[in-house]
A = this chain, B = another copy of it.
Amino acid sequence: MTGEPSTDLVTYPFSHTIRVRFAETDAMRIVHHGRYFPYLEEARVEYLRAIDHPYTAWQEAGIESAVLEAFVRYRSPLRFDELVVVHVALRAVRGATFQMDYALSVDGELRSTAVTVHALLGADGRPQRLPAWLVDLNLGG
């Protein structure tokens, strides 16, 4: 992964809001640190839908997105019933992999930043070239 995600919420082109479930809290009365990854994934899926490349279309084309790296920096905790805004950006494309950056906020207050790095796999389980629209998206297209 490349550097740290931006802590400036306005630099993210997309956001998606998720309400914290009680089932996602732990005995410290905060969201368990492992529960952030489904939030990132949900926001990523909604981002792809918003730019007209829904993940279900990838699946129909026999392509899956494999996670190569995942990172979260927990700045302050999330709690039951909070409305978490997950900000998403395509940060970088490098060869056959791409990096997504995230910032999680509640009421405009930054709570966490995160990174996921992905490759695309074909039906044979082998890495795929990234589609042109994804490369273009990274160029600001």
Binding site for B on A (CB under 8 A): 19, 21-30, 32-38, 41-42, 45, 54-56, 59, 64, 66-74, 80-81
Contact = CB atoms under 8 A, between A and B. Distances in A.
A74 B69 contact: yes
A74 B81 contact: no
Given A22-B27, A28-B64, A33-B37, 8 more contacts: A23-B41, A27-B30, A27-B80, A33-B70, A45-B81, A56-B81, A70-B71, A71-B72
A28 B80 CA distance: 11
- Copies assembled: 4
A55 B26 CA distance: 15
Nearest to A23: B38
